[in-house]
Structure 1
Amino acid sequence: MNEFLRGTGVALVTPFKNDGTIDYDGVTSLVEFCIKGKIEYLVVLGTTAESATLTKSEKKALVAHIVQVNKKRLPLVIGIGGNNTQAVIDEIDSTDLSDFAAVLSVVPMYNKPSQEGIYQHYKKIQDHAPIPVLLYNVPSRTAINMTAETTLRLAQLDNVIGVKEAVGDFTQVLQIIKERPEGFLVLSGDDALALPAVAAGGDGVISVIGQGFPDEFSEMIRLGLAGETQKAFSELYKLLPAVDHAFAEGNPAGIKHMLKTKGVCGDAVRLPLINVSDELAEKIENFIAN
């Protein structure tokens, strides 16, 4: 099994300055905060990073900075996905992946391919990728669900090592866990359902909220993996309000305000995203204060 990706990975935000440029000091602070908080691995250029608004040169500079700050202390996963299969392959081919453990690639959005189209998309990607591939199913963003059957079919491919599953249908998650081949990772993409998925036999989570509460969230998942479910769920219930607040007005605006409140980095986002409302900001600040 790919043990290095069990536990808690976090989909890092991209801190920005108020003028919209990348805040590299904020990036450093965030990476150090996650490492100190005992997160198992870091995910770079995921959706939470606002990667859709980053230029190619910004992506390259951001990746290089995170690699330099991390200093090989934690495994790194890089997000490379899209709805143009050849463009995804070209980006993989043109990216230095030597510091990364895996590529996280989202189901093609907007095009709404058939299940066979999704399969062929990923098959071509895994054929070209020099490192393992993690599937990422998030129908709320892509407008198409990769079914359990398609995921399990892809799980038979040599270079596909797991799935980040954010389907919202727990029955589908259970089917994948039940029928997956040995060594195939099932990672939750839903912070609220991560522990139930682990309790059902899943391997962990790629989390948003985990970077705001790295100690608490990663320990909760470790307890779940160790079978200490009562303690783990006690921790989850404490964190549930933070999960609600993080996504109430869109990701990553909520988690960025949490990070700002904790003094980790600023809360600036790029349009079309905007900062959280004053009402939500107050709820976040009160939760952290208490």
Structure 2
Amino acid sequence: MINEKLRGTGVALVTPFASDLSVDYKAFEKLLAFVLDGGVNYLVINGTTAESVTTTSAEKTEILRFIKKHVGGRVPLVYGIGGNNTQQVVASLAETDLEGISAILSVSPYYNKPSQQGIYQHYLQIADASPVPVILYNVPGRTGSNVAAETTLKLALHDNIIGIKEASGNLEQCMYIAKHRPENFMLISGDDLLTLPMTAFGAEGVISVLANAFPEKFSNMVQLCLDHNFKEATALLHTFVDINPLMYEEGNPVGVKAVLERFGVCSPNVRLPLIEASAGLKDRLHKLL
């Protein structure tokens, strides 16, 4: 079943950039080898952590082609297609080569702050148009609006909507979804540090930022959670508590790219309006590492 393929740790891949801010495919190769050798279960392409808002359509096409070629079917791929213009999202679905893609991850509409009925109708159109299954993405801190649990559960009845990445930080809302969802509807953590408690009450794993830099340790933690070995999982979780806030202090993926630079995987370069991690942030990260 599709749910089993996407159980565990999905890594929300960064997009490595060269000094001229072009996509650095040599570094991308290193990153793919790094996370796959670390044992992540699947890859998420073109998400927020990939700086998808500042990559062009041509770059998105080439990045997707490149990753498909280099992964070669070793792990499932999830591709981010979302936005606040429903017609444009539907058009993107038709224009994107989704062969070999297990699901799309589609963020709820941002900026225009629709009603719950508007969010519901938005996702229905996407699910009807998508040639592959859809994972909803609720991240109110970025979109300015929450996908209510009741809306998620209504959408979960659609045959082509298979789960939700929940990054609301509202554990009560997540518990409600876990309790009332259909049997095959996945609850996926969208917050690295909440993965353990969410797995304890029914989540199937996480789509992670930290797994870019710590793929083996983070994947091990998630697997321990799925195995209900929460004592050992908690010990690993505690190793991330101090570093996780620094990942987002100056914007995502600024922090994680600074760590990846330290590990020799890719440069810390990001595209405006983001800027490279400050010397102070890098210093604190390096001390923790």
What TM-score range do you get, normalising by the shorter chain?
over 0.9
Distance in 1 (alpha carbons) for counterparts of 2:260 and 2:253: 10
> For residue 124 of structure 1, what is the amino acid of its counterpart?
Q
Secondary structure of 1:151's counterpart equals helix
Give unmatched runs, 5+ long, in structure 1. Answer: none
Listed as ranges, the matches of 1:36-75 within 5 Å are 36-75=37-76
8 Å contact kept, 2:248–2:255: yes
> For residue 90 of structure 2, what is the amino acid of its counterpart?
I
8 Å contact kept, 1:11–1:42: yes
Matched residue, 2:109: 108
TM-score under structure 1 length normalisation: 0.98
Q: 1:242: Cα distance to partner?
A: 2.1
Distance in 2 (alpha carbons) for counterparts of 1:162 and 1:142: 19
> For residue 280 of structure 2, what is the amino acid of its counterpart?
E
Distance in 1 (alpha carbons) for counterparts of 2:243 and 2:260: 12
Deviations 1:64-121 (A, max 9, x none): 1111111111100000000010100100111110110000000000111000000000
Matched residue, 1:264: 265
Secondary structure of 1:88's counterpart equals helix
Listed as ranges, the matches of 1:131-210 within 5 Å are 131-210=132-211
Matched residue, 1:244: 245
Deviations 1:195-254 (A, max 9, x none): 110111111000001111000000000000001001001100011122122112210000
Secondary structure of 2:281's counterpart equals helix
Q: 1:257: Cα distance to partner?
A: 0.4
Distance in 2 (alpha carbons) for counterparts of 1:274 and 1:194: 28
8 Å contact kept, 1:12–1:208: yes
Matched residue, 1:79: 80
Secondary structure of 2:195's counterpart equals helix
Matched residue, 1:215: 216
8 Å contact kept, 2:188–2:204: yes
Q: 1:153: Cα distance to partner?
A: 0.6
Deviations 1:165-217 (A, max 9, x none): 00011111111111111011000111111111011111100000111100000
Give unmatched runs, 5+ long, in structure 2. Answer: none
Listed as ranges, the matches of 1:117-128 within 5 Å are 117-128=118-129
> For residue 147 of structure 1, what is the amino acid of its counterpart?
A
Deviations 1:243-280 (A, max 9, x none): 12211221000000011101111110000001111111
> For residue 51 of structure 1, what is the amino acid of its counterpart?
S
Secondary structure of 2:188's counterpart equals strand
Structure 1 residue runs of 4 or more that deviate by more than 6 Å after TM superposition? none
CA RMSD after TM alignment: 0.7
Identity across matched positions, percent: 50
| Number of aligned positions between the proteins | 288
